[in-house]
Homo-oligomer: A and B are copies of this chain.
Amino acid sequence: MKVAILGFGTVGSGTAEMLTKNKALLEAHAGEEVEIKYIVDIRSFPESPFADRIINDFSVVEKDEEVSLVIEVIGGAKIAYDFTKRALLAGKSVVTSNKELVATYGAELLALAKEKDCYYLFEAAVGGGIPVLSPIANDLSHNEITEISGILNGTTNYILTRMFSSGASFEAALAEAQAKGYAEADPTADVEGHDAARKIAILGALASGKMVSSDAIHTEGIRAIRAEDVAAASKIGCSIKLLGRYLRTENGDMFLLVAPFLLPADSPLSGISDVYNGVLVRGNFVGDVMFYGRGAGSEPTASAVVADVDKIARGAAYRPAFIVADGDIPTEISFFRTRRYVVVEGIDASAVEIIFGETEPLSSEENAFLTAEMSEKGFKSRVARLEACGGKVVSHIRLYR
């Protein structure tokens, strides 16, 4: 079996290394040699041990009938989209870590793979090295899945962990994450929740068969979280985590959202710190199960890429059934009910009770409280009332439960 790697960056080089180092294991599974025939990159790497296999022209791969599997680790949804389509059209299976491409064109590419009798797999697109897509598709899909909630972005989890451990502000924790190489110079995709939105779109599609554009998902990042919120959460034994959530209510309604949540200490997601990721899945018989591990990094991501290569090599690949269905999973979350942590100013405690109903005041230097369970719609209408009285919401974080 001959494979080609597209993109020789962090993940590409990790993948080449794993295919080489764990060659014996892979070949024992596949029953044949698994060989890297080409690595396609626009750069050249004369010092690399793989230098002899590095080429610049994808069409060589496309036309080489010996290559049956292409590993796309370029990223983005432009060149990667073109190359993936051409590989599948040529009957080659494609394995990727490219969450943007899967979240944008997953349904189309899966349909094309099926039509061409080959595979399109993307374990590495969600949760880094953690096996999560395959366990959901292969080990849990006989359950009615009512919830998938995940800490899906290591950068924001690192920032939140530091805010809790050192009391740092968001800005200070972000600067620290950038200094450590955990956050990019432009951290928008991470801190605004866009990265998590792509990942929960993929998880939701896997669970429901229906894919929505991640741009349509209600997405709140962590930029608005203040040191005061962290202190208040700590006082009541909670952590704050940025969660991507897929939820299905008892009457079959489904929705997706990305937002920070307050988690009690006994929630399995609560203890996941630093750059680690965790994905909780709730099934009607299995109850809550959680998958935990490194959500990024060259080696863990390579492991997830090679997991898919391994499945294809030993004839154990599966077909995630995504259907493009914008609107089928509501991205409107108005009926989502939960308790809420709220900080207001401009009104006094008695006005809080009148507007928000029964609340649990928090000992804080601010006017901070927890509400009873209420829907997004109900919350919005109370906020409107608050503002009409000259008050304003300083902070609002949903409770996980």
Question: Which residues on A are within 8 Å of B, measured CB to CB?
Answer: 14, 18, 21-22, 25-26, 29, 123, 129-131, 134-135, 138-144, 266, 268, 271-273, 276, 283-294, 297, 299-300, 302-304, 306-307, 309-311, 316, 318
Contacts and interface: CB of A to CB of B under 8 A. Distances in A.
A310 B141 contact: yes
A303 B22 contact: no
A289 B129 contact: yes
B284 A273 contact: no
Contact of A285 (B268, B273, B285, B300): B300
Given A135-B131, A288-B293, A289-B292, A303 B143 contact: yes
Nearest to A24: B144
Identical copies in the complex: 2
Nearest to A302: B285
Q: Is the interface of A mostly helix, strand, loop or mixed?
A: mixed
Nearest to A285: B303
A299 B316 contact: no
Nearest to A311: B138
B22 A284 contact: yes
Contacts of A303: 140, 142-143, 283, 285-287
Nearest to A290: B292
A268 B292 contact: yes
A126 B202 CA distance: 29
A138 B141 contact: no
A267 to B, nearest CB: 10
Nearest to A145: B25
